[in-house]
A and B are shown apart, each in its own frame.
Chain A
Amino acid sequence: MKKILVVDDEAIVRTSCDRTLTPEGYDVTLTASGKEGIACLEKETFALVLLDLKMPDMDGMEVLSKIKENWPETKVVMVTGYSTVDTAVQALRVGAYNFIEKPFTPDTLLKAVQEVFGPSD
């Protein structure tokens, strides 16, 4: 099973990811904050985390470094607004697999996910 964890404080973004990825056969878990995300990761193993860069409680970069520390196998794709592209580039250096810009289309999201898992069968 291709397990994906979505961490984003915006409900509409979470739903968009769920509605785009679930029909494509991915197992999607949704969380609204960095803390929640870490808690989920401690319970289960995820192949991919879609991580928002800008969140109120815990910064995306912080969450990223924690993930890379504890679950190095898990791949992370950052989701950013345009103004934070620089930060996204920095995230790549820290160990993120890729990043996509908001607002994204279902196609962009799928492409980015497929890149991680390889084309679905």
Chain B
Amino acid sequence: MKNILRNPDKSIAAKLIIAIGLLMIILSLIFWYAILQKQEKDVLSIATKYGRSFVNFTKASTRRSMLIFDREETQRVLDTLSTPEGVQGVQIYDHRGNIVFSSKSEKAGNSVDRTSIACTGCHSNSESGELLTETRKLFVHRDEKGKTSLHMVESILNAPECSTAACHAHPESPEILGFVKADLSLAVLDEALLKQGLALTAYVIMFVLAVSIFLGIILYKIVSKPVNELVQGMEKVSGGNLENTVQVRSDDEIGKLARTFNSMIRDLKGARDQRERWTQTLEVEIEKKTDEIQKTHANLMQTEKLASLGRMAAGVAHEINNPLTGVVTFAHLLKKRFPPESTESQDLDIIIEQSERCAKIIKNLLTFARATPSEKGKVSINEVLNRTIFMVQNQAKFHHIKFNPDFADKQFVVVGDGSQFQQIFLNMFINAADAMNGRGNITIRTRGALENEKPYVEIEFTDEGCGIKEEDMPKLFEPFFTTKPVGKGTGLGLSVSHGIVKHLGGHIKVKSTIGKGTSFFVRLPLES
């Protein structure tokens, strides 16, 4: 509202209000003028009516005294008639312009010419004495003080009584004997008219004001406010704020505009949100990729390291085979010199046994170091498990870990690559050892299972480690998912295992309790 008042140029409502206000004022003025005119006319016609009856009354009242030629009586009647307020004077003229009687006595005896009001009603001007076709009997005169007076002239016609009256006689010839002229003041009516005019003016002003205010409010409510809101909303939007909507107040064009505007904002917001989401996804994606690249890089380094380590291990293992051959051979040679039950023979047996154990360790080490292409064959799960356990037991990482194998009596045979299974199991052991910080029990169980009426072997690896967080569960089998420090874990173990197991038609399941431990269940289809 303030805006409108401050900047009428910039507001539709203000323009409308001004236009309608002006129109109202003009119309009111015309109306006001017409009413005043009409009132004046009405008042005048009423005054004329009364004036005429007054003059006729004067005529009637003086008729008798004039007939008997009683001058005093006539004068008295005239004086009486002119006493009321508003009657300025009453005169009786003869047709030559002489004032025969007058309520104001000093006027009597004067004469007037044809320019006097009493004569101009019939004679247009003094010289020609021409007569008007239509006689006027009424004159409204306004003096310099603004006082209005009404002059009425009525002719006194020659009647038979006049020429036959006893006292004096008029000749029969002239039709008009004289005139009665009454001067009536209209001051009272003027005053009433003024009062009415003032009141009317006040009414008109009030009416204009009321209509203007009413219009203003209506316009403000219907046009200005919603348009302003719309404008503010648009300004906000152009400022980048898309959270706002404009309130829809009506069903008219402005309401429609607001609704359209809102839907436009919604679309805009949707587009912007989507763009933001895209940007975000892109950022996340980039972050993920960067991470992956870093991890892949680390993994490559790791693989490279492992490969060279493997090569070295293979070389070392191979070299150890030579001295081991010597140890074994000479122990056997020596043993032949002693009888079988002798202590020496038994001691030598220990040497031979331990040497063979060394040979086994080397063999396992080489199996693992070698990158053999996957060859499918019949693999005994128990055997691979035992071999893997045996292998890791000798590593420092597992010195304080106790393995509890709890195998079913049945030998489970699976079609696949032994070294791949070894890889799976080894990763399970390493993960368990890491989760237990290198101390605790790892229980390994095997059992038969039926799934969709097909036989499976289930291998369970249970540790007493830290457990896995609920939020990490779904990511467990993702490649490169690891919680271990860089360089220690690559996050490939489970994902590779999952790939191998899935490829063979099996699956891996996990159960974990934080702080208590974790169980992995590897299911592989049995050879049918």
Using a CB–CB distance below 8 Å, which chain A residues touch chain B?
Answer: 10, 12-13, 15-16, 19-20, 54, 81-84, 102-107, 109
Contacts and interface: CB of A to CB of B under 8 A. Distances in A.
Contact of A83 (B333, B359, B366): B366
A118 B332 CA distance: 23
A84 B315 CA distance: 11
A83 B363 CA distance: 8
B174 interface: no
B370 interface: yes
A105 B332 contact: yes
A12 B317 contact: no
A1 to B, nearest CB: 23
Interface of B: 314, 317-318, 321-330, 332-333, 352, 355, 359, 362-363, 366-367, 369-370
A8 B210 CA distance: 127
A20 B369 CA distance: 32
9 contacts: A10-B322, A16-B325, A16-B326, A82-B321, A83-B318, A83-B366, A83-B370, A102-B324, A104-B329
B330 to A, nearest CB: 7
A33 to B, nearest CB: 15
Instruction: Tell me if A's interface is mostly helix, strand, loop or mixed.
Output: helix
A102 B359 CA distance: 8
Nearest to A19: B333
A13 B320 CA distance: 12
Contacts of B363: 82
B326 A15 contact: yes
Closest 4 CB pairs of A and B: A12-B326, A16-B329, A103-B324, A102-B321
Contacts of A54: 318
Contacts of B330: 16, 19
Contacts of A103: 321-322, 324-325, 327-328, 355, 359
Contacts of B329: 16, 19-20, 104-106, 109
B77 to A, nearest CB: 167
Contacts of A104: 325, 328-329
